[in-house]
Structure 1
Amino acid sequence: MIRIGAVSYLNTKPLICGLRERLSGIGKLSLNLPSRLAQDLAAGRLDVALIPSVEYFRATGYSIVSNAVIGCRGPVWSVRLLSRVPIQQIKRLALDEGSRTSAAMVRVLLSEMHGLSPETIPLAIDQTPETVDADAILVIGDRAMHPEHGVYEEIWDLGDRWCRWTELPFVFAMWVARPGVDTTGLAEILQASRDEGLRSLETIASREAATHGLTNEDLHRYFVENLHFHLGPGERAGLQAFQEKATALGLVDTPKSTL
C-alpha cells in the first residue's frame, strides 16, 4: 500500500476530491501540515506527499509525480506578511511553522525588493500573530485569510508580490515521491482527483465555507481566482526562478539542474 500525504488546508480540497476512493486497495491518504509532510517523506514514513516546493529543491532523488499542484498567478489571499512597521524597517520576522516554501519566499522578496535580511523567529502553529514579539509576521493557510484589522502598518499578499516582481507564477506545493517508490499509474489518479475537484468547486465551497468563516461565494472565488492547480511551462519557470533566488540567499544548498 502506497502511503500518500496531503496538506490539511483549504487550498488542497480541490486536489484530493475523491482521492481516498481512487486509492482504495492501492494506497492510504493522510492529512497534515506542509512542513510535517516534508519531514515524513524524508524519514520514509510517506512514499508520496504534497510537499512545499522548497523541500523538493533541498532533497536528493525526489521526483515530481503529477502536474497537479498548488500555485498562483497573482494574489493568493492565504499567504500574507503582516507588518507592524513600514516594510523597510522590519528587523525581526516571525515565520509560520506550518510553512517552509512561504518562509523562503518572503525572505527572497524582502531581500530582493528592499535589501532586508531580518532576524527570524518561529510562529508556532497554536500561537496567534498578535502574541508574537516581532516587527512582521508571515502567516499562511486559513488564519492568513482574516488578519486583525487596524493592527498592521502594511499587509502583503505574497502571491501578488511575487508575480508582479518576477512576472512569473508561483508554485507552493507539488506531489513528490521519494526515491525507489513505484508510482506507476499514480499521476493519472492524482490528476483525475484534481480534475474532479475543479468540476466540483461549488460543492466543495458550500461544504467547507462556513466552518472557516467564509461565505460560499468567497471560497468559490478563492479557488477560481486565487489558486492555480496545473503545472505548466510558466509554473516550471517560476519554480526555476524561486530555486535560483533561494539558493543565492543560502536557503537551498544544492540546486537541481532540471525541474
Structure 2
Amino acid sequence: MSVIIGEISYTNILPFFYYLDRDKLQRQQCSFVPQVPAQLNQAMAAGKIDVGGISSFAYAENSTHFTLLPNLSVTSYGPVGSIFLFSKKPLQQLGGAKIALTSSSATSVNLLKVVLEHFYSLEVSYTTMTPDLKKMLVEHDACLLIGDDAILAKHEVGKSYYCYDLGDIWYKHTGLPMTFAVFAVRNETLNEHPSLIGAVYRSFLESKKMSETNQYELMIDDILKTHGGEKKFWDMYFQNLCNDFGEQEQKGLDYFYELLFQMGYLPNQVKTLNIWDAARIVE
C-alpha cells in the first residue's frame, strides 16, 4: 500500500516541498497529489490522501481522526501577505454587506467570520464563489481571496479597493500568531506505516531547514519564473511567514478553535491538539 502525500498548490507551502527527494519517497511507495486546500481537505477526510498540508480548520473538523506533525505549519505573526479582504468601503462600514468568499479554503473563510462578527460585531451575508476578484465584486461589497489568487489580485488592483490582511487583523486583536495550514496524517495511516510516515516527516523538516538556511533564494528564483512579480516582494513574503509549530503557534490555534466553537462554526470543541511525539518520530 502506498502513502499519498497532499501538496497545497500555493507558494506559501513550497519551503516544505522544494528540497524533497521525491524520487526517493516514490521508491518508498509515496505519491504526491497537488491541489488547493479545500480539495485536499475533502480528500484527506475521505481517506484519499494520507498525509500533508491541510487547512487548520480541516484539522479541527477531523481532530479525532488526524494527528498533527510537530514543527511544521504556515503561520504568521502579523501580516500574512496572501489572505486579503478586498472591499469597496472601509471594513467598519460593512454592516449589512454582501461578502463573496473564496471556495479555495476553509481556514481563511472562518477567520474572516471571526474578524467581522467577533472583532467588529458586524452582521453580513456570505456567498461562496470561484476565486475571481472582478466577478466576485460585481454584486458584492467585498470579497475574500487567498494564496496566489490574493497575491495576484493585490498586484493588479493596487489601491482601487480597500485591502485588509487577515493575519494582521488577527494579530492586532489577539497578540497571537495565526496558523493557516498544518501538517497532518490520518490515524489509520500512522498506525499502519509509522516508519514511512517518519521518513516523510523528516523529509519535510529537511526541506524546511534547507529553505530557511538558503533564505529561500533558489525557490524564489523559480517562483519568479512561474509567477512573476519582484524578488523584493517574495523575499519579504517568505521572511514574514513562520514555518514552525511550537508552543506559541499552538496557543494561537487553540484560541482560534475556541472562538469558532463559541460562535457555532465548529460543532465539536477541540480540547487538545493531537500532536505526534517527536521522540517517536526520529527513532
Which letter maps to 2:228? Answer: G
Paired with 1:24 and 1:77, the residues of 2 have a C-alpha distance of 33
CA RMSD of aligned residues (A): 1.5
- Contact 1:38-1:49 at 8 Å conserved across structures: no
1:194 counterpart residue number? 208
1:116 alignment partner in structure 2: 122
Q: Which is further off, 21-30 or 49-58? A: 21-30
Checking the alignment, whether the CA contact within 8 Å between 2:3 and 2:50 is kept in structure 1 is yes
* 1:85-107, Cα deviation, whole Å (9 max, x unpaired): 22233221111111110000011
- 1:16-63: CA deviations, max 9, x gaps? 122224523221122110000000001111111211001101113211
Of 246, 252, 263, the match for 1:232:
246
Cα distance in 2, alignment partners of residues 222 and 180 from structure 1: 36
Does the alignment pair 1:203 with 2:218? yes
For residues 32 and 208 of structure 2, what CA distance do their matches in structure 1 show?
A: 15
Name the counterpart of 1:5.
6
CA distance in 2, matches of 1:250, 1:243: 11
Q: 2: distance between equivalents of 1:162 and 1:21?
A: 40
1:149 aligns with 2:158: yes
Q: Return the match for 2:26 from 24, 27, 45.
A: 24
Give 1:168 shift.
0.3
Pairs within 5 Å for 1:55-94: 55-59=58-62, 60-90=64-94, 91-94=97-100
For the structure 1 residues 24 and 81, does the alpha-carbon distance in structure 2 shift closer, same or farther, using more than 3 Å as the test? Answer: same
Please list, as runs of the form range in 1=range in 2, the aligned pairs for 1:102-141 lying within 5 A after superposition.
102-125=108-131, 128-132=132-136, 133-141=139-147
Deviation at 1:123, TM superposition (A): 2.4
Query: What is the match of residue 173 of structure 2?
Result: 165
Q: Which amino acid aligns with 2:252?
A: G
Residues 175-218 of structure 1, C-alpha deviations (whole Å, 9 max, x = no match): 11122113431322221121122233011111112432311222
Indicate the SS of the match to 1:196: helix
**Using the alignment, how far apart are the partners of 1:191 and 1:165 within structure 2?**
31
* Runs of 4+ residues deviating >3 angstroms: none
Partners of 2:24 and 2:223 lie apart in 1 by 21
Higher deviation after alignment, 10-19 or 182-191 = 182-191
Instruction: Give TM-score scaled by structure 2 length.
Output: 0.86
TM-score (norm 1): 0.93
Q: Secondary structure at the match of 1:3?
A: strand
Letter in 2 for 1:63: T
Q: Name structure 2 gaps, 5 residues minimum.
A: 274-283
Q: Take 2:23 and 2:175, find their aligned partners in 1: how far apart are those partners?
A: 38
Given that 1:95 and 1:122 are in contact with CA atoms closer than 8 Å, whether structure 2 keeps it comes out as: yes
Are the structure 2 counterparts of residues 223 and 21 from structure 1 closer, same or farther at C-alpha, using a change threshold of 3 Å?
A: farther
State which structure, 1 or 2, has the greater radius of gyration over its C-alpha atoms: 2
Amino acid of the structure 2 residue aligned with 1:15: F
5+ residue gaps, structure 1, are none
Report the CA distance between 1:64 and its aligned residue: 0.2
* Count of matched residue pairs: 255
Within the candidate set 215, 232, 247, 1:217 is matched to: 232
3-state SS of 2:189 partner: coil
Which letter maps to 2:243? F
Distance 1:233 1:150 in 2: 37
> Normalized per residue, which structure has more helix?
2
Query: Which range moves more in the overlay, 184-193 or 96-105?
Result: 184-193
CA contact (8 A) 2:258 2:270 kept: no
